Amino acid sequence: MTTAAREWVSGVGVLDKASVLLEIVEQAPAPLSELVSRSGLARPTVYRIAVALERLGLLTRDCRGRFVLGPRFGALAVQARYDRLVRAAAPVLAELHAATGLEARIVRRRGRVQVCVATSADGVAGPVGADKAPVGTARPVTAGAVALVLLAWEEPEEIYHGLRGARFTAGQLSQVRRRGWARGADVMVPGEVAYAVPVRGGDGRVVAALSVSGTPGRMGLVPSRRLGAAMFDSAAELGDALQRARTAPAAPRAPAAPRGR
C-alpha cells in the first residue's frame, strides 16, 4: 500500500510504481530514502525503478543527490523550434542580458512542471557549462520566484491544485498579483536568485514567466528600479510579438494539384 497520492493508475504494476515515484518528485526534489518512505514500496524496488527512469531521462539528480524530473520532460513538453514565443524571444533575451548582465530565461508551465523554453545563453559562444539551465530543463512548479508568477494568475481551482506540495501560500500568490513580479530562489540553478515577471499572450492570459537570475552578489549590482523597468519592457515586447502573431492573417494555402482521371 503506497502513501503517495495516486492520480494516475494504469493497472500495470511496474508502470503504476513508476508513476508513484514521478508524482512524489513532481512535488519537490526527493532523496532515495524519501521515495521509499512516501511510496511505501520496498527500497530495492524503488532504487531499481528510479535508476531505470534516470537512464530514460525521466529522472535526474540535483547537486545534493536528490531525484528531480529529468530533461526528457522538457523535450516532451516543448517544441521550442516551432513555438511563437520562442521565435520572438532570442533578440529580447539577448537585449535583457546585455542591459543587466544576468542570464535571462523564458519558462512555461506544463501541469506541475516548469520548463525552460528559451535562454539568453542559447547560441552564444562561451565556456563549457556557461548555460546553467539549458532549454528543456524542467523542475517542479512548487517553489521559487518563477513558480509564483506561473501560478499567481491562474483560475482559483488551478491555484488550489497548484498549491498542493508547494513551498508558498495563497497569500504569497496574492502579493505577486498585486505587485506584478516575484523575487526569490531560482530552482533552475540552486544557490542563485531569480526575478520574474509574467508574459501575457494576445488574449491577456499569462502564458509564461520571464526571469533573470544570478548569484545574490551579482543581483545586488543591478539597481532594483533599473532591473524592474528592463524586465517589464522586455515582457511587454514579448507580449506585443504574441499579439501580432495572433492577429496576423493566415498564409494562403497553395492550390491543390488537379487529380488525374
pLDDT tens-digit readout, 115-137: 999 999 875 544 434 568 888 89
According to DSSP, residue 248 is labeled S
- pLDDT value at position 245? 67
- pLDDT value at position 126? 44
Indicate if 58 and 181 belong to the same structural domain: no
CA 62 to each of CA 69, 138, 243: distance values in angstroms, whole numbers, following the listed order: 10, 12, 37
Indicate if 27 and 62 belong to the same structural domain: yes
- pLDDT value at position 127? 43
Q: List the beta bridge partners of residue 114.
A: 109, 139
Indicate if 114 and 185 belong to the same structural domain: yes
Tell whether 232 is covered by a domain: yes
Classify burial at 67, counting beta carbons within 10 Å of its beta carbon; exposed 0-12, middle 13-18, buried 19 or more.
buried
Percent with pLDDT over 90 in the chain: 53
Average pLDDT score, the chain? 84
Tell whether 22 is covered by a domain: yes
Residue 70 — very low, low, confident or very high, per pLDDT cuts 50/70/90? confident
Q: 46: which residues sit within 8 A by CB, 6+ positions away?
A: 21, 32, 35, 36, 39
Residue 259 — very low, low, confident or very high, per pLDDT cuts 50/70/90? very low
- pLDDT value at position 69? 85
Alpha helices in the chain (DSSP H): 13-27, 32-39, 43-55, 71-77, 84-100, 145-152, 156-162, 170-179, 216-219, 224-247
Q: Report the amino acid identity of residue 131.
A: D
| pLDDT over threshold 90, residue 170 | yes
